Structure 1
């Protein structure tokens, strides 16, 4: 990981919704504080982060500057904070709303590839794009 980044987002580059959000975050990454790593990029090794590809496909992960890997909704807060938009996603951390957002994200994570077809993405045609069952839980 590049030490100049406040946070590195490990994202599913085969997910059309994920790509759109990453492109949007990158457009706001003016100070290059957010690192972006596609988990399907050539040469990427999930073991470098103590994870399997199945685990990384199950839900979003990110890496703090100290190397600590986090997953789920806290990743979004860290990524948005790195580009100066933490305030936008702050309600996801509020005690009364956090359980709701955690559940909504868990559902989204399990179905994100199918949901992408609603936005005009072509359905995945091979097994490499599937989200393996049993891993979408937080």
Structure 2
């Protein structure tokens, strides 16, 4: 199988602790540099073609190496396809009906994402404060 000529660009909400954690994982896993990451929550960040910054923040988007802008579950499948350890998940997602089920799950997740993210953010803040106290008090 030949490598793709262009990297896929991942657009993510860097103001979301959950999103940052997931993108951090993908970034560390991307040994080949197949993905480029754009935090669309940053002032001046360019969202994918045809989308506003608000639209880009509301859902996960990826611009595939061939120029297609993918959203939601299809965007995750593109990321998985580009990461060797996750290609099995992309193959499963290609089974008949699988992408529709993944998209339904993603749409059900979106309304609860802010609550999960806030909870994760609080946990990470407490953890950082504890680490700061340990290093400052020693």
Same fold, judged at TM 0.5 (above): yes
Quote the RMSD (CA, aligned, Å). 2.1
Q: CA deviation at 1:74?
A: 1.1
1:57 matches 2:60:
no
Structure 1 unaligned blocks of 5 or more: 123-138
**What is the deviation of 1:88?**
2.9
2:58 and 2:42 map into 1 onto residues whose CA distance is 17
Alignment CA distance shift 1:99-1:14 (3 Å) = same
CA–CA distance in structure 1, aligned partners of residues 109 and 50 of structure 2? 24
- CA positional deviation for 1:91: 2.6
Tell me how far 1:100 sits from its aligned partner. Answer: 2.2
Larger radius of gyration: 2
Q: CA deviation at 1:7?
A: 0.9
What's the counterpart of residue 91 of structure 1?
92
Residues 11, 36 of structure 1: 8 Å contact kept: yes
| Residues 9 and 62, structure 1, Cα contact 8 Å, conserved in 2 | yes
Counterpart in the other structure of 1:11: 12
SS of equivalent residue, structure 2 residue 115: helix
Question: Does the alignment pair 1:73 with 2:73?
Answer: yes
Task: Map Cα deviations across residues 4-54 of structure 1 (whole Å, 9 max, x no partner).
Answer: 6431111111111111110111111111111111101232133x6110122
Task: Count residues in correspondence.
Answer: 118
Which structure dedicates a bigger proportion of its chain to helix? 2
